Amino acid sequence: MILSARDIHKHYGEFCALGGVSFQINEGEFVSIIGPNGAGKTTLINVLTGLLKPNQGKVFFKEKEITGIGPEKLSKLGLARSFQLVNIFPNFSVLEFLMVAVVSRLNKGKKFFSSLLRDSEVTGEALEVARLFGLDEKKDILTKNLPQGDKKMLDVASAFALHPEVILLDEPTSGVSTSDKNRIMETLVSASKKIGIKSIIQVEHDMDIVFSYSDRIIALHQGKILADGAPKTIEKDEEVVCTVLGQKECFKIFSSILDRMS
């Protein structure tokens, strides 16, 4: 077990966003968290990464309690998340954007950024991450000028540049074309093996991506875990699929199952 949530409750006034969520993530797992809007997915990710402190319950990373300690401290312990920061630094080049993450990991944040541009260690590691994600030929392009698929790729790459043991991805393929979605997923899976990332957790709405890449799926509904299991188990559970994904997706998935059986 590398990451666990134990009896997590989170309330916003009278609204219960999470009502007793417990699970654990093991080394080597690719876990997708799914659920309809309002199910508690984003709140759960924010609790797991220390941005939010739960009203009740605890989070553990490698048996160390990390409840509410914040993403910066967590990244130094070996847990990182993508934050979709590309639009916040529109005038950074791709290489400069990746260097920010490398600087954080190497604890060189006290230097002026102009001097960091001449730091061969920082530059070298940023270039290596750029190569892993197919961004090396775009290293001098400003992030604001990248197509949406490359912006998503850069956002994920910046989290990988922290060399975490566990990475949490919040909708890594949202807003991009189907071909870009598969490109992003294939690249991040390949990069995770090369960097040595032990587990990946993602929140994702695209069910084709979820069922294609996940070892395990956690389905949330109204702040509680409705199901937790392998993709083949989840897709055969009509109640779970229809409750979590809606009737349209339910019909699509079960039609696909029937086609494979015929």
Query: Does the pLDDT of residue 56 top 90, yes or no?
Result: yes
User: What's the whole-number mean pLDDT along residues 188-211?
Assistant: 93
End-to-end CA distance of the chain: 40
Q: Averaged over 119-123, what is the pLDDT? A: 86
Contact between residue 121 and residue 94 where contact means Cβ atoms under 8 Å apart:
no
* CA pseudo-torsion sign 139, 141, 147, 152: positive
Band of the pLDDT at 80, cuts 50, 70, 90? very high
**Taking residues 41-49, what's their average pLDDT?**
94
Domain spans, the chain: 3-261
Q: What is the pLDDT of residue 260?
A: 60
pLDDT confidence of residue 238: 79
| Residue 132 scores a pLDDT above 70 | yes
- pLDDT averaged over the chain? 88
Confidence class of residue 137 from pLDDT cuts 50, 70 and 90? very high
According to the 3-state scheme, what is the secondary structure of the chain? CCEEEEEEEEEECCEEEEEEEEEEECCCCEEEEECCCCCCHHHHHHHHCCCCCCCEEEEEECCEECCCCCHHHHHHHCEEECCCCHHHCCCCEHHHHHHHHHHHHHCCCCCCHHHHCCCHHHHHHHHHHHHHCCCHHHCCCEHHHCCHHHHHHHHHHHHHCCCCCEEEEECCCCCCCHHHHHHHHHHHHHHHHHHCCCEEEEECCCHHHHHHHCCEEEEEECCEEEEEECHHHHHCCHHHHHHHHCHHHHHHHHHHHHHHHC
Residue 254, pLDDT > 70, answer: no
Mean pLDDT of 163-180: 90
State CA 151 to chain mean position distance: 15
pLDDT value at position 83? Answer: 75
More confident residue, 201 or 237: 201
- Average pLDDT rounded to a whole number, residues 178-204: 93
List strands edge to edge, sheet with 15-25.
15-25, 3-12, 56-61, 64-65
pLDDT higher than threshold 60 for residue 246 = yes
Cβ neighbours of 122 (radius 10 Å): 23
The percentage of the chain sitting over the pLDDT mark of 70, rounded to a whole number, equals 87
Q: Which CATH class is domain 3-261?
A: alpha beta
Please state, for a pLDDT cut of 90, what percent of the chain lies above it.
Answer: 65
**Local confidence band at 13 (pLDDT 50, 70, 90 cut-offs):** very high
AA identity, residue 34: I
- The torsion angles phi and psi of 178, rounded to 5 degrees, stand at -60, -40
pLDDT for residue 245 is more than 60: yes
